[in-house]
Amino acid sequence: MSEASRFPTDAGDEVVFVVESNSSRETKAWGRRLASLLRGGELIGLTGELGAGKTCFIKGLARGLRLREEDILSPTFTMIQEHHGRLGLYHIDLYRLEAPSLDDMGLREYLFSDAVAAVEWCERLREANELEMLSIRISYAGASSRRMEFRAGGSRYHALLGELRRRFS
Ligand SMILES: Nc1ncnc2c1ncn2[C@@H]1O[C@H](COP(=O)(O)OP(=O)(O)O)[C@@H](O)[C@H]1O
Ligand SMILES: [Mg+2]
């Protein structure tokens, strides 16, 4: 089965949307674009090795939610940081956890709320494959270029991704 056919598709919409970013500015711009389409309650999962640009993307997302980009930190000890802008934003980083489950640390409350949840190392979550989310995989494509693969799991995210693509590609 091809990757693109893993999720059910509505007519005409792609389930995977791939863009290339050539600077951290561009990565942030994609975060801002996505933020402009969010209504609250979305789960955004970010995947990619250390230094790929997950936090960078979330800085752009924050900016788009009218938060200060500087307030978005790479959490070292804090795994969950809460911000309030146009919508609430929970910035979660699962890097330090081996195989967290939704029942750990109240994660369930953070991931399914009225706020936007942006989760770095989302694939570490035991239930990751069962959750509907917009996942963004960032990989190196050169010193300052990255490939960003947006993938929609579930109809809500399918619509969101379709919108992102229509407006900004
Ligand atoms: N195109 C790009 N997109 C995102 N970050 C980039 C890009 N090019 C270079 N960088 C740099 O890569 C690093 C990404 O760091 P960060 O966002 O903290 O990664 P992660 O959260 O995935 O570990 C930053 O130092 C950033 O300036
Ligand atoms: Mg990070």
Give me the CATH number covering residue 31.
Answer: 3.40.50.300
pLDDT attached to residue 14: 55
pLDDT attached to residue 15: 87
What's the domain count of the chain?
A: 1
Q: What does the pLDDT average to over 2-10?
A: 44
In this predicted model, what pLDDT tens digit does every residue of 103-135 receive, in sequence order? 999 999 999 999 999 999 999 999 999 999 999
Residue 8 lies in a domain: no
Ranges of beta strands (E only) in the chain are: 16-21, 43-47, 80-84, 88-93, 116-120, 133-142, 145-153
Instruction: Name the DSSP class of 130.
Output: G
Q: How far apart are CA 51 and CA 131, in angstroms?
A: 25
Q: How far is the CA of 74 from the centre of ligand 2 (A)?
A: 5
In this predicted model, what pLDDT tens digit does every residue of 29-87 receive, in sequence order? 999 999 999 999 999 999 999 999 999 999 999 999 999 999 998 866 679 999 999 99
| Cβ of 54 below 6 Å from ligand 1 | yes
Q: Nearest C-alpha to atom 6 of ligand 1 is from which residue? A: 24
Residue 57 lies in a domain: yes
Residue 72 lies in a domain: yes
Residue 6 lies in a domain: no
| Cβ of 106 below 6 Å from ligand 1 | no
User: In terms of residue numbers, what domain contains 131?
Assistant: 15-168
- pTM of the full structure: 0.92
| Cβ of 31 below 6 Å from ligand 1 | no
The answer to whether 134 touches 8, Cβ cutoff 8 Å, is no
Residue 29 lies in a domain: yes
Residue 129 lies in a domain: yes
| Cβ of 74 below 6 Å from ligand 1 | yes
Residue 5 lies in a domain: no
**What is the enclosing helix (H) or strand (E) of 63?**
helix 54-64
